[in-house]
Amino acid sequence: SMVPRISRKTLCAGGYQGGRDSCQ
């Protein structure tokens, strides 16, 4: 999944596209 410069924690909490993917 596309992972922006934001930390993975933010992706997870923010629920970005593919956030769960980065969270795992």
- Structure confidence at residue 11 (pLDDT): 57
Size of the chain, expressed as the number of residues it contains: 24
- Structure confidence at residue 15 (pLDDT): 60
Three-class secondary structure of residue 20 per DSSP: helix
Whether the CB-CB separation of 23 and 6 falls below 8 Å is answered with no
N-terminal to C-terminal alpha carbon distance within the chain: 12
- Structure confidence at residue 2 (pLDDT): 60
- Structure confidence at residue 22 (pLDDT): 53
Q: What amino acid occupies position 2?
A: M
- Structure confidence at residue 7 (pLDDT): 58
Kindly report, residue by residue over 1-24, the tens digit of the pLDDT: 566 665 555 555 556 555 555 554
